[in-house]
Amino acid sequence: MPYYRAVGELPRKRHVQFRRPDGGLYAEELMGEEGFSSDSSLLYHRHLPTAIVKAEAVTPVGDTRLEPNLPLSPRHFRTTELASAGDLVSGRILLAGNGDVRLSYATSDQPSELYRNSMGDECVYVQEGTARFESTYGVIEAGPGDYVVIPTGTIHRWVPRGRVNVLAIEAAGHIRPPKRYLSQYGQFLEHAPYCERDLRAPAEPLLAEGEEVPVLVRTRGGLTRLVYRNHPFDVVGWDGYLYPYAFNIDDFEPIVKKTHAPPPVHQTFEGPGFVICSFCPRPLDFHPESVPIPYNHHNVDSDEFMFYVGGDYSARRGSGIDVGSISLHPAGFTHGPQPGAVEAVIDAVARGVTTTSEMAVMVDTFRPLDLGQGALACEDPGYAWTWSR
Ligand SMILES: [Fe+2]
């Protein structure tokens, strides 16, 4: 996180005695990244955060097999055909992944159990529905268009209000705003497409009572259920730079050029081996002879995974792409607008159209994405040939 935040009760100095009303000591915990050489927070627990009473191995549910994108093809997956079994964590359907990131879809109206992903940060994009995100840091109310960024190791759970559809981006490291948007000390610069005021984080502690509370822990070795003696939501205060936060795609301020701009202008977050971009409604390029949709392009170092979350994608008309679709355009393949789309948009501009309503979330990976069984189950098999029709 790029800035300091303090929530709840804190002692005046760090690492000094901090006492409960009954005279006992609160238990201080430092959560820090990169060997405590990067962002961290100090949390003050009512109970020992170390007190576990049981550990049991858990067999993963769902099919986590991945296979190479061979023969190499552009792909189209229809998430509207997928049905999760479980909650927004256990019900994740693996669509694609590599050593850096896993991309899953989930749809559920069930609360998840307490969960700690100790393999990396998560960025959960809420496509539809609303949910209460509860964590040791407090609550975030999440709704359509929210990216919820969850630091590694944050104990949390999702409580949907009705059905919620999400794209879960699970990193093997940390997800942060792009460096080029930030000053050397971490403040968002004026040219950045969003800033601190757009980020929503817990505002007050979340306290819950309970004994023998299970927490599902994901590590590189697998899944474990640790049973805590006391409920982990026992933090009376915390401060630091490390905490979960939400950013809504509607708060992204698109950067527009006179002629068509490539995807880096849409970048929202970066992670190790990938970037996350937001394609938002914006004015069309305004050069009098502009072609205001993408040129054919070959992102030679990346696979482009694009989730179409709303609006109208005129560049893709005739491809079968619709809201809820995901396209995967891999390195090794040049992609671009469907046949006739360039002429159609030039005609539209001539008729007075000045804006595009497209909305999409794109994950560009720097290593090839392998395909999950969930993606193959909802694949449109004719997509690869749609540019030749
Ligand atoms: Fe592209």
**CA 297–ligand 1 middle distance (angstroms):** 6
**CA 31–ligand 1 middle distance (angstroms):** 38
**CA 328–ligand 1 middle distance (angstroms):** 9
Helix ranges (DSSP H) in 176-242: none
State the Cα–Cα distance between residues 78 and 97, nearest whole angstrom.
Answer: 17
State the Cα–Cα distance between residues 373 and 379, nearest whole angstrom.
Answer: 10
Threshold 0.85, pTM exceeds: yes
pLDDT at 237: 98
**CA 362–ligand 1 middle distance (angstroms):** 9
pLDDT, averaged across the chain: 95
pLDDT at residue 316 is higher than 80? no
pLDDT in tens, 236-267: 999 999 999 999 999 999 999 999 998 899 99
Cα 102 to Cα 43, 65, 167, 169: the distances in Å are 29, 11, 10, 6
pLDDT at 148: 98
pLDDT at residue 1 is higher than 70? no
**CA 274–ligand 1 middle distance (angstroms):** 14
> Cβ(329)–Cβ(96) under 8 Å?
no
Percent of the chain with pLDDT over 70: 99
**CA 27–ligand 1 middle distance (angstroms):** 49
Residue 15: pLDDT band with limits 50, 70, 90: very high
**CA 311–ligand 1 middle distance (angstroms):** 17
- Number of C-beta neighbours around residue 267 at 10 A: 21
pLDDT at residue 315 is higher than 80? no
pLDDT at 314: 65
State the Cα–Cα distance between residues 16 and 25, nearest whole angstrom.
Answer: 10
pLDDT in tens, 60-90: 888 889 999 999 999 999 999 998 889 999 9
State the Cα–Cα distance between residues 104 and 86, nearest whole angstrom.
Answer: 13
State the Cα–Cα distance between residues 9 and 43, nearest whole angstrom.
Answer: 10
State the Cα–Cα distance between residues 240 and 1, nearest whole angstrom.
Answer: 9
Stretch 179-199: mean pLDDT: 96
Residue 2: pLDDT band with limits 50, 70, 90: low
CB burial class (10 A; 0-12, 13-18, 19+) of residue 99?
A: exposed
Distance of CA 18 to the CA centre of its chain: 36
**CA 357–ligand 1 middle distance (angstroms):** 17
**CA 336–ligand 1 middle distance (angstroms):** 7
**CA 246–ligand 1 middle distance (angstroms):** 26
Stretch 1-11: mean pLDDT: 91
**CA 334–ligand 1 middle distance (angstroms):** 9
**CA 371–ligand 1 middle distance (angstroms):** 18
Q: What is residue 260's DSSP assignment?
A: P
Stretch 147-157: mean pLDDT: 98
**CA 368–ligand 1 middle distance (angstroms):** 15
What amino acid is encoded at 365 in this protein? Answer: T
pLDDT at residue 184 is higher than 70? yes
Across 112-248, the runs of DSSP E, i.e. the strands, are 114-117, 122-135, 138-142, 146-150, 156-171, 199-200, 211-219, 222-230, 235-240, 245-248
**CA 310–ligand 1 middle distance (angstroms):** 17
**CA 234–ligand 1 middle distance (angstroms):** 45
What is the C-alpha end-to-end distance of the chain, expressed in Å? 47
**CA 250–ligand 1 middle distance (angstroms):** 21
State the Cα–Cα distance between residues 238 and 43, nearest whole angstrom.
Answer: 4
Identify which of 361, 363, 342 has the alpha carbon closest to the alpha carbon of residue 284: 342
Residue 317: pLDDT band with limits 50, 70, 90: confident
State the Cα–Cα distance between residues 156 and 138, nearest whole angstrom.
Answer: 9
**CA 263–ligand 1 middle distance (angstroms):** 8
**CA 253–ligand 1 middle distance (angstroms):** 20
State the Cα–Cα distance between residues 333 and 206, nearest whole angstrom.
Answer: 48
Neighbours of ion ligand 1 (CB under 5 A): 304
Distance of CA 12 to the CA centre of its chain: 35
pLDDT in tens, 94-130: 999 999 999 999 999 999 999 999 999 999 999 999 9
- Number of C-beta neighbours around residue 379 at 10 A: 18
pLDDT at residue 312 is higher than 90? no
Cα 21 to Cα 27, 236, 239, 299: the distances in Å are 14, 12, 20, 59
**CA 279–ligand 1 middle distance (angstroms):** 11
Stretch 48-61: mean pLDDT: 95
What SS3 class is residue 68?
A: coil
**CA 298–ligand 1 middle distance (angstroms):** 7
> Cβ(81)–Cβ(53) under 8 Å?
no
> Cβ(94)–Cβ(373) under 8 Å?
yes
Lowest mean pLDDT, pick from 152-166, 185-199, 282-296 = 282-296
pLDDT in tens, 199-234: 999 999 999 999 999 999 999 989 999 999 999 999
Percent of the chain with pLDDT over 90: 90
**CA 223–ligand 1 middle distance (angstroms):** 35
**CA 169–ligand 1 middle distance (angstroms):** 19
pLDDT at 60: 85
Contacts of residue 250, defined as CB under 8 A and 6 or more positions apart, other chains included, come to 145, 280
**CA 330–ligand 1 middle distance (angstroms):** 9
**CA 353–ligand 1 middle distance (angstroms):** 23
**CA 135–ligand 1 middle distance (angstroms):** 36
**CA 262–ligand 1 middle distance (angstroms):** 9
**CA 340–ligand 1 middle distance (angstroms):** 17
**CA 304–ligand 1 middle distance (angstroms):** 6
